[in-house]
Structure 1
Amino acid sequence: MLSLKLLLFNSILATVITLAYTEECSGLRNDFERLKEELSQRIVDLENKLEAEKRKRYLVDEELDIEKEVTKLIGDVNGIKQGMGSTYIRWGRTECGGNASKIYKGYTGGKWYADTGGPANYVRMPEDPQWAKYMDGFQDIGNRMYGTEYEDNSESTFNPFSVHRDDEDAPCVVCRSQRATTVMIPARTNCYTGWHLEYTGYLMAMSRHYQSSSEYICVDKDPEVIDHGSQSEDGNLLYIVEAACGSLPCGPYVNGRELTCAVCSK
């Protein structure tokens, strides 16, 4: 009888233990599932955060790349600008004005005022000539290069300059502007809208009383001289140019009025 009761007790105990164990395992499983879900959610959150950081970093890197490209383009443009430019001659001066840089200064050259043949242009002769093959002594089968003198008191008593420069030798300087285009505008003392004034002066050329031809050049309004004397050596000459209205319209132009000029860049 006792053994039967013991067997029954053991059976009941085993059942209770089994039930208790089953309930405990179920609770553990629930806790595990809950932890698993929480862990999964944290993993998802971390992945989303990581992706967001990646995107942010990508945007930062992309912005840095764009900034680098813009900086490079600005440098390229500045390099192109520095490579661009134009040149002009400042007749009657030894230095350039404004932001223009001096290439070289020298002497205004040209042919003898009475020669009927040969070139007609004024030439920018450097101060430091170099020679190749040569034979001293005039061969007189070609042309000659002379210096150039101002003639501001021979044909007229009027002198537009601050001081007389008659018979003085004329210098010149070759200038490089940072702007791409330069132009000489006769009969102007300033430039048109959008253009920068390099210098202003008076239109000068060879006298009409000589058979020799020349070009018109813009001599600075405050001309300098080459400091080696003012003796009349003739050579090439520079005279003030006057307007002659008629076919050149009267009204805007005045007969016999000395013409100005301006060198402009853009």
Structure 2
Amino acid sequence: MSIKLLFFSSILLLETFISLAYNEDCDGLRREVEFLKEEFSNLRQYTSQRIKDLENELEAERSKRYLVDGELDIEREVTKLIGDVNGIKQGMGSSYVRWGRTQCGANASMIYKGYTGGKWYGDTGGPANYVCMPEDPQWAKYLDGFQDIGNRMYGTEYEDNYESTFNPFSVHRANEDAPCVVCKSQRAITVMIPARTSCYTGWHLEYTGYLMTMSRHYHSSSEYICVDKDPEALVHGSQDENGNLLYLVEAACGSLPCGPYVNGRELACAVCSK
């Protein structure tokens, strides 16, 4: 074989090797490209699904937050409503008379103070109740002088607690004039309970004292009131001028059952609020 022929044969063989190597590289590159395409497609699908999942989670969180905020709003509304109701209760409240005193207790505020009034102890007609007369009366139309066709308003004296008789109070108040004070409780209901020195469960004590009224020996009728256990007296004197009177009340067994009650025992009382 000539050198020339050998040279050309070598060139042809080299070209063949180069062509085969190129084709193998192209096939490898094609496979690599196809692999990358597949990976990219998978990644895009994963990314798309992940975005959807995150959107769903976000929406769920928003719904949950809305629910919590709603619950908080409801809680705030309930708290406000309770406050409004308590405010209404405090605005409404209730009132009572503290007989024998010029000041209310710590749980109440004073509306006014004055004098315990009522009819003359010997009158057979007219009203039976005690009233708290204010210290600063105002007058409408009037005609001075007794007309004696209606009734009269008198002051009220403590009676039946002389040195020689039983006296449950810390001082003797015979013939002294009884004051009174009208009080406003923050609680909605106030009640006087006879024969008690304390309130029942759930009730608050405004004050305690003794049951008093007119004497049974007079023809005049009267109501029972709770006079404070430490009664005060008005400062304008202790003359025996009578007017309306206050006597202690004793339990009388019979129709009123003995056992819980004791015959002849003086009755206490309590004013309670709720």
- Counterpart in the other structure of 2:230: 222
CA distance, structure 2, for counterparts of residue 136 and residue 188 of structure 1: 45
Deviation at 1:80, TM superposition (A): 3.8
Identical-pair percentage: 79
Check 1:245–1:28 CA distance in 2 against 1; reply closer, same or farther (3 A cut).
closer
SS in 2 for 1:189: coil
Worse-superposed segment, 217-226 or 187-196: 187-196
Deviation at 1:23, TM superposition (A): 5.9
1:41 maps to 2:24: no
CA distance, structure 2, for counterparts of residue 155 and residue 257 of structure 1: 18
In the alignment, structure 1 segments of 5+ residues that lack a partner are: none
CA distance, structure 1, for counterparts of residue 33 and residue 139 of structure 2: 110
- Counterpart in the other structure of 2:67: 59
Check 1:66–1:138 CA distance in 2 against 1; reply closer, same or farther (3 A cut).
same
In the alignment, structure 2 segments of 5+ residues that lack a partner are: 1-11
CA distance, structure 1, for counterparts of residue 260 and residue 32 of structure 2: 114
Instruction: Find 2:266's aligned residue among 250, 253, 258.
Output: 258
1:139 maps to 2:168: no
- Counterpart in the other structure of 1:81: 89
Q: Which amino acid aligns with 2:238?
A: S
- Counterpart in the other structure of 2:79: 71
Q: Which amino acid aligns with 1:144?
A: R
- Counterpart in the other structure of 2:8: none
CA distance, structure 1, for counterparts of residue 126 and residue 233 of structure 2: 26
- Counterpart in the other structure of 1:243: 251
1:121 maps to 2:129: yes
1:213 maps to 2:221: yes
- Counterpart in the other structure of 1:176: 184
**Alignment check: 8 A CA contact 2:102 2:232 kept:** yes
CA distance, structure 2, for counterparts of residue 260 and residue 142 of structure 1: 34
Worse-superposed segment, 80-89 or 224-233: 80-89
SS in 1 for 2:53: helix
What CA deviation, in whole Å up to 9, does each residue of 1:143-181 have, x standing for no partner? 111111111346962222111111111111122233333
Deviation at 1:244, TM superposition (A): 2.9
SS in 2 for 1:245: coil
Q: Which amino acid aligns with 1:113?
A: Y
**Alignment check: 8 A CA contact 2:154 2:244 kept:** yes
CA distance, structure 2, for counterparts of residue 150 and residue 212 of structure 1: 16
**TM-score, with length taken from structure 1:** 0.82
Instruction: Find 1:185's aligned residue among 193, 197, 216.
Output: 193
What CA deviation, in whole Å up to 9, does each residue of 1:14-56 have, x standing for no partner? x969979976764564354234223313322331332233133
Q: Which amino acid aligns with 2:242?
A: D
CA distance, structure 2, for counterparts of residue 27 and residue 256 of structure 1: 114
**TM-score, with length taken from structure 2:** 0.80
CA distance, structure 2, for counterparts of residue 211 and residue 165 of structure 1: 24
CA distance, structure 2, for counterparts of residue 20 and residue 254 of structure 1: 119
- Counterpart in the other structure of 1:203: 211
SS in 2 for 1:198: strand
Q: Which amino acid aligns with 1:78?
A: N
SS in 2 for 1:163: coil
CA distance, structure 1, for counterparts of residue 240 and residue 266 of structure 2: 24
Aligned residues: 258
**Alignment check: 8 A CA contact 1:109 1:148 kept:** yes
Worse-superposed segment, 210-219 or 184-193: 184-193
1:166 maps to 2:169: no
**Alignment check: 8 A CA contact 1:152 1:164 kept:** no
What CA deviation, in whole Å up to 9, does each residue of 1:62-91 have, x standing for no partner? 232222222223223323432453322211
CA distance, structure 1, for counterparts of residue 153 and residue 32 of structure 2: 119
CA distance, structure 1, for counterparts of residue 256 and residue 43 of structure 2: 102
